[in-house]
Amino acid sequence: MEAAPTLTVGVPVFNGALYLEAAVSSVLAQSFRDFELIISDNASTDATGEIGRALAAADPRVTYRRNVENVGLSGNLNLLVPLARGRLFKWATADDVLRPGYLETCVAAVDADPAVVLAYPRTDFVDGDGVPLDLEDAGWNVSSADVYERLRFAIAADHFVNASLGVIRTDALRRTRLMPPYPGGDFRFMAELAIQGTFVEVPERLYVRRVHGGSTKGNSGNARWLRQHLSGTRPGARAPLWRLSMDRAGIVARAPIPAGKKVRLFVLLARTSAYQWRRLARELPDLLRSDGRR
Low-confidence residues of the chain: pLDDT under 50: 290-294
- Tens of pLDDT, residue by residue over 177-192, are 999 999 999 999 999 9
The pLDDT of residue 124 is: 98
Please report the domains of the chain, with CATH numbers, ordered by start residue: 7-219 (3.90.550.10), 238-288 (no CATH)
Q: Within a 10 A sphere around the Cβ of 141, how many other Cβ atoms?
A: 15
The pLDDT of residue 226 is: 81
- Tens of pLDDT, residue by residue over 65-116, are 999 999 999 999 999 999 999 999 999 999 999 999 999 999 999 999 999 9
